[in-house]
Amino acid sequence: MPPPLALVHPDAPSAPPVTMTLQDALQRARQNETQFLASVADAAIAREDRVQAKAGLLPAFSHTTQYIGNQSTPDDINPNGRFVSMDGVNMYRSWAVMRQEISPGVFMRTPLRKAEAAEAMAAARLEIAQRGLAVTVTRSYYGLVAAQRKYATAQLAAQQAGRFLEIARRQEQLGQVARSDVIKADIQYQQQQQGFREATLIMDNARLALAVLLSPTLDENFSVVDDVLAGPAVPPFTDVRTMAERGNPDLRLAVETLRAAGQDVRTAKNALLPTVAVELIYGIEANEFALHSRIAAQPELGVLPNLGYAVTVNLTVPVWDWGGLRSKVHQSETRERQAKTTLSQAQRQLLSNLYSRYNETLAARTAADNLRRIVDLASESLRLINLRYEAGESTALEIVDAQNTLVQARNAADDAEVRYRIAVAELQTLTGAF
């Protein structure tokens, strides 16, 4: 018997392996997969952009304290100092300031609505990434399950080939079969042993591929639950279509992109309209940092209160900018038209993908059921041919053919079950979980 295949593996802890279901694998992948985490970060950033846009519609409050020094004149001839804008050598300011911009964008809440659309777009992209990650994890998870099943099939085939070789040698010694049967059995045994080594390598590679998704340290110390035969049933097409129309993130992304483009058009048009900015100041601006003091320029007035307010109202009217603002309007309208075209394309593509993936799911389920029946037939065929061979009624070629047929049928059935689970996951990228 040839030596077993010695594969190298990453260092693993001595703790017992963790048993994971598909849901456990999905949860771990959400914590480690970089593209998905980037979508999570984008959604969080968009949420903060919406908070900032909402805050930008409200008055802003601040407080400022200043000291302004002014060079005096010789012999204090001018108590105001040398600068005409001052009323004394020393000036103190302590202001509470409220500023509010009153513009068409504020009235129509355009910045907030655009930020809300951007947040919805980021949420849709996050949902797309999450559903795409589910397909990736499902493919790797059941790829490992299928590899383990093929490993078991290859191991069983190697054992059957070994028993067949023993039977052939024993019957050759009894003079019941020719030497050619022993040679054929030995060839079959060596081929099945090679198949077993290849299955070992494929299973190891599948485990590594899944570990990349699940572990930041490439930890292979886990085992997966083989529930490939417990796939969910597919709802009727009418129900699937309703779910896709209500919860498809690609369609929602196209809708929100159009909404954001519409807000861009409004923003560009609002820039053509007048804007009013109001600034209210309450506090002191005096020659002493106090609530009451004398005015340096008019000390004869005595001590006066310093607290007071001032209001500044600024009206800005766009007059001429060489067509720049009008160009931005045309530019945003072009983006809006493109967004409408994209939405229409997304609606058609959704319907096409829905039909295609639903039919693929049905075909995969039918293929899996049919191949399971073929496995049962191939197993019974091998059992009967083995009995006939021991009775001298069949040839070594029939044994080899039956063994190969059973291996191929089992592998094909396992692939079909995995195909069905992946088809369901891809269908759920359009509909959500069902």
Segment 370-415, tens digit of pLDDT: 999 999 999 999 999 989 988 888 888 898 999 999 999 999 999 9
pTM: 0.84
Confidence of residue 344 (pLDDT cuts 50, 70, 90): very high
Q: 116 CB contacts (<8 Å, ≥6 apart)?
A: 50, 53
User: Where is pLDDT greater, at 84 or 217?
Assistant: 217
321 φ, ψ (degrees, to nearest 5): -135, 25
E strands along 238-325, which residues?
275-286, 292-295, 298-305, 308-316
Question: The domain 18-57+109-273+318-431: what is its CATH number?
Answer: 1.20.1600.10
Mean pLDDT of all residues in 290-310: 87
DSSP 145: H
User: What is the C-alpha separation between 61 and 51, in angstroms, rounded?
Assistant: 17
Mean pLDDT of all residues in 127-140: 96
Mean pLDDT of all residues in 65-85: 72
User: What is the C-alpha separation between 370 and 364, in angstroms, rounded?
Assistant: 10
Confidence of residue 175 (pLDDT cuts 50, 70, 90): confident
Give the 3-state secondary structure of residue 294: strand
What is the b/e burial string over 323-341, where b = at least 16 CB atoms within 10 angstroms of the residue's CB?
eeeeebbeebbebbeebee
Q: What pLDDT is stored for residue 295 in this prediction?
A: 82
User: What is the C-alpha separation between 328 and 214, in angstroms, rounded?
Assistant: 47
Give percent of the chain with pLDDT exceeding 90. 71
Domain boundaries in the chain? 18-57+109-273+318-431
